[in-house]
């Protein structure tokens, strides 16, 4: 465990760099406690003269502080509830680009991870082509029965794991300190925010998890004709090395090259939007960093995504919420859009559904009075989250990540087709999911799942009886050896065991009754 003194040193250095770059000029001191206001004013005395904008100041400071702070900035861009919408918008522009580390260090890291010399694994191994805060990418070739094949080799920066973990421990220290002295910090649950960041960084520090994400998405989209992901070379992948198929396609960031290929750009824009929605709504697993640099068009005209370090997941409940919300706005069924919030438990039952429906209508109606190219689905979700905050809707980090990704995806789609009609594009995907899951087929599947739950409950009955027998035997042994339990203690033990099983038992019997009623209807 790193002692708090080292945390203070790291945080003091970070505070100095932020102050020097003028970041505290972005902070409004009025709502802060008196001591914090004095701290902000003192920090501003360290500012160096600059004409840079707020976004440039923050990006520069985070870049100077290193990989951990770049990741922190990118993460906070998805949490406007913590940093405010203005700063979150600025952080979206933060670029994760760093100078590459030496070729020999990359080759040494690969050899240690995979246990073989580089020349024995790769027919060729080129210099780094792209470098970020956590890793860099090399182009290489491998021998196969069909001949040489190009691959992309991603290598973690040497020592990056130690540095990131030390900085994140300092973030935890700062969050705990803030929550101890600030009610607002406790409301925002800053320690939980840092925990979420830590989980995200853990995924990025083990490239096997990124490989697994690519593999999972490949399985999900196996039948999609217009979207694919690179194949993972598992034999050449380890915790700090990831080898995948090399993509020779045209990047979506190069519009001129796309036009020279004669591609249908409006159709490509629709493919970007529909693919993202399909992954989010159908699969509940989506690429959360779909900027133009991570998207290519291959020789067959298919969209190809790379870099699976940041992924988003949605539960079945969240997918239904998203689908019904979007379809409610598309069809102007604001009552249904409001009901979904209550059914999902996002808005407390104590709130008025009629008033909430009115608020939803206030967001939706202006959309239907605008031209197709002026309608932003991401902006709609942003407004929706702002309104729901008035009705005590708790922050949903997974939905914020979805909304932020949708902002990027919309930008890519509109770059390819400025007149892209978001609602016409989204409607087939959303409607297909609703028909599949809330229509007759979905009801049958739900009934089958209910039968399965009842079967699992009946199968668990012997284990429950066995556990009760073990508990009885333990009490018997304890009392036989001379340990006398008071009657209220024995009663407490029995009541605790009953409480442990009562909820599960009641819930499963309710499922069984509802299943029978459903089949009877």
Cα–Cα distance for residue pair 498/411, rounded to 1 Å: 55
Cα–Cα distance for residue pair 381/398, rounded to 1 Å: 13
DSSP 311: E
Indicate the angle between helix axes 316-331 and 353-367, nearest 10 degrees: 60
* 159 phi, psi to nearest 5 deg: 80, 0
* Residue 81 among the catalytic residues: no
Q: Could you say which of 289, 298, 299, 354 is catalytic?
A: 289
Contact predicate 207/237, CB 8 Å: yes
Got the DSSP string for 118-158? Answer: HHHH-SEEEEEEEE-SSEEEEEEEEEETTEEEEEEEEEEPT
Question: Angle at the Cα of 110 (from 108 to 116), degrees rounded to 5?
Answer: 90
Cα–Cα distance for residue pair 386/163, rounded to 1 Å: 36
Q: SS3 breakdown of the chain: % helix, strand, coil, rounded to 5? A: 65, 10, 25
Nearest of 20, 97, 101 to residue 63 by alpha carbon: 97
Look-up of token digits 């691959």:
151
Cα–Cα distance for residue pair 310/289, rounded to 1 Å: 6
Query: How many alpha carbons lie under 13 Å from residue 158 in its C-beta half-sphere?
Result: 14
Catalytic residues: 289
């Amino acid at each position: 465990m790193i002692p708090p003194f080292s945390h203070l040193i790291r945080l003091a250095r970070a505070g100095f760099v932020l102050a020097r770059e003028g970041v505290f000029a972005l902070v409004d001191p009025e709502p802060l406690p008196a001591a914090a206001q004095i701290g902000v004013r003192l920090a501003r005395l360290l500012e160096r003269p600059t004409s840079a904008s707020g976004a440039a100041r923050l990006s520069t400071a985070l870049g100077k502080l290193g990989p951990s702070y770049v990741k922190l900035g990118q993460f906070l861009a998805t949490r406007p509830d913590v940093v405010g919408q203005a700063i979150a918008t600025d952080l979206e522009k933060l670029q994760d680009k760093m100078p590459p580390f030496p070729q020999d260090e990359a080759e040494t890291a690969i050899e240690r991870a995979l246990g073989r010399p580089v020349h024995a694994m790769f027919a060729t191994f080129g210099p780094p082509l792209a470098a970020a805060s956590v890793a860099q990418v090399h182009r290489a070739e491998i021998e196969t029965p069909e001949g040489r094949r190009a691959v992309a080799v991603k290598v973690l920066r040497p020592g990056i794991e130690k540095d990131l973990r030390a900085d994140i421990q300092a973030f935890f220290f700062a969050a705990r300190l803030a929550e101890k002295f600030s009610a607002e910090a406790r409301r925002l649950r800053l320690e939980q925010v840092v925990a979420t960041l830590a989980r995200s960084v853990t995924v990025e520090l083990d490239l096997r998890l990124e490989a697994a994400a690519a593999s999972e998405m490949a399985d999900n989209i196996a039948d999609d004709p217009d979207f694919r992901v690179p194949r993972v070379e598992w034999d050449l992948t380890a915790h700090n090395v990831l080898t995948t198929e090399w993509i020779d396609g045209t990047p979506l960031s190069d519009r001129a090259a796309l036009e020279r290929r004669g591609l249908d750009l409006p159709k490509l824009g629709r493919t970007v939007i529909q693919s993202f929605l399909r992954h989010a709504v159908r699969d509940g697993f989506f690429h959360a960093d779909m900027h133009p640099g991570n998207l290519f068009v291959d020789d067959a005209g298919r969209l190809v995504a790379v870099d699976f370090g940041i992924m988003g997941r949605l539960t079945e409940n969240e997918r239904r919420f998203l689908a019904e919300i979007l379809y409610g706005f598309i069809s102007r069924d604001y009552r249904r859009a409001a009901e979904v919030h209550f059914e999902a438990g996002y808005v407390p039952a104590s709130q008025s559904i009629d008033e909430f429906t009115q608020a939803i209508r206030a967001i939706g109606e202006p959309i239907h009075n605008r031209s197709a190219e002026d309608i932003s689905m991401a902006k709609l979700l942003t407004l929706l989250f702002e309104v729901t905050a008035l009705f005590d809707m708790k922050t949903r980090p997974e939905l914020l990540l979805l909304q932020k990704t949708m902002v990027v995806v919309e930008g890519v789609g509109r770059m390819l087709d400025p007149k892209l009609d978001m609602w016409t594009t989204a409607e087939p995907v959303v409607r297909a999911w609703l028909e599949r899951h809330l229509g007759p087929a979905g009801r049958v599947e739900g009934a089958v799942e209910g039968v399965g739950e009842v079967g699992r409950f009946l199968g668990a009955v012997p284990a429950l009886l066995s556990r009760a027998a073990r508990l009885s035997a333990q009490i018997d042994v304890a009392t036989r050896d001379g340990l006398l339990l008071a009657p209220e203690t024995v009663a407490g033990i029995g009541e605790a065991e009953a409480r442990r099983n009562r909820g599960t038992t009641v819930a499963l019997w309710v499922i069984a009754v509802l299943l029978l009623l459903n089949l009877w209807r």
